Structure 1
Amino acid sequence: MTRILHIDSSARPGRSDQKPHGSHSRRLTAKFIEHWRSARPNDEIIYRDVGANPPAPVTGDWVHAAFTKPDDREDWMHDVLRESDLLVDELLGADIIVAGVPMYNFGMPAQMKAWVDNIVRVGKTFGFDRSREGVPYWPMVTDGKSIVVLSSRGDYGYDAGGRVAHLNFVEGGIFTPLEYIGITDQYGAAIEYDEFGDDRTQKSIALAEAETVAIAEKLIRKHATKNAA
Structure 2
Amino acid sequence: MKRDVEPRIYLSTVKKRLVELAIWTFLLFTSLVPFLTMGAISFIKAYGLPFKLENLSMKNYQYLLFSDPKTLSALGNSFKLASFTMIVCLIAGTIIAYLRYKKPNILTKITELFVTIPYALPGTVFALCMIFAWMQPIRGWNPGIYGSIWILFIAYVTRFLILQVRGSYAALLQVDPSIEEAARTTGAKGWVKWRNILLPLILPGLIGGAFL
- Asked which structure has the greater RCO (Cα within 8 Å, sep 6+), the reply is 1
TM-score, reference length from structure 2: 0.24
Q: Which has the higher strand share?
A: 1
Q: Which has the higher helix share?
A: 2
TM-score, reference length from structure 1: 0.23
